[in-house]
């Protein structure tokens, strides 16, 4: 159930329960309110608690995502010179894709750290497979290019 729907239910039930007697008579809901007050109150509280739970769940998800992003960004501060060598073309040359063999251990390590990803399952032994930089990593490295200093200045296999 969406939060918007719950808010609509809470609003309607709140109006029925807490509207002054004068306005309740004008809207012709005073009889319904008096007859079903216990059930309306219970439904109001249930919807209110369920809405609060959904909001709390959303906030917890945001917190966990933030913590996860900070952890991944911290990984960028501890890259080896060889890993930095693989990431240089993405940032300095503005490359979107590099073709590297699936058996490459350094790229596999970057992939396991969620820094790069393989956008396709198609590739070959000669050219390799396509590897892209994760958007969060690109954004962070573009803001912090000093993290790629002291990279290994030798060609990759």
- The answer on 86 and 48 residing in a single domain is no
Q: Mean of the pLDDT values across residues 8-37?
A: 88
pLDDT tier at 19 (50, 70, 90 boundaries)?
Answer: confident
Domain end: 43, 75, 107, which one? Answer: 75
8 occurs within a structural domain: yes
Residue 83 lies in a domain: yes
Q: Is there a contact between 129 and 58 (Cβ–Cβ < 8 Å)?
A: no
Tens digit of pLDDT for each residue in 74-84? 999 999 999 99
Query: Do 67 and 90 belong to one domain?
Result: no
Q: Which pLDDT does position 56 carry in this prediction?
A: 96
- Least confident interval from 39-48, 51-60, 115-124: 115-124
Q: Which of 34, 56, 75 is the last residue of a domain?
A: 75
- Predicted pLDDT at 83: 94
CA distance 126 to 114: 25
141 plus 83 within the same structural domain: yes
Average pLDDT, the chain: 90
Among 32, 49, 75, where does a domain finish?
A: 75
Domain that holds residue 68: 3-75
The string of pLDDT tens digits covering residues 106-156 is: 999 999 999 999 998 888 888 899 999 999 999 999 999 999 987 766 555
Q: Is the pLDDT of residue 50 over 80?
A: yes
Domain identity same for 90 and 70 = no
**Counted domains in the chain:** 2
């Amino acid at each position: 159930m969406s939060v918007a729907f719950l808010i609509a239910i809470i609003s309607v039930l709140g109006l029925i329960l807490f509207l002054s007697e004068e306005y309740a008579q004008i809207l012709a809901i005073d009889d319904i309110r008096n007859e079903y007050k216990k059930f309306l109150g219970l439904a109001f509280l249930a919807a209110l608690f369920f809405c609060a739970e959904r909001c709390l769940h959303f906030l917890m998800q945001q917190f966990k995502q933030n913590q996860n992003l900070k952890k991944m960004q911290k990984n960028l501060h501890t890259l080896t010179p060889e890993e930095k060598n693989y990431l240089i073309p993405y940032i300095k040359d503005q490359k979107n894709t590099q073709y590297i063999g699936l058996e490459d251990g350094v790229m596999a390590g970057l992939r396991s750290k969620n820094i790069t990803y393989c956008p396709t399952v198609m590739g070959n032994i000669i050219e390799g497979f396509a590897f892209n930089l994760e958007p969060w990593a690109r954004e962070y490295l573009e803001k912090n290019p000093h993290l790629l200093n002291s990279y290994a200045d030798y060609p990759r296999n």
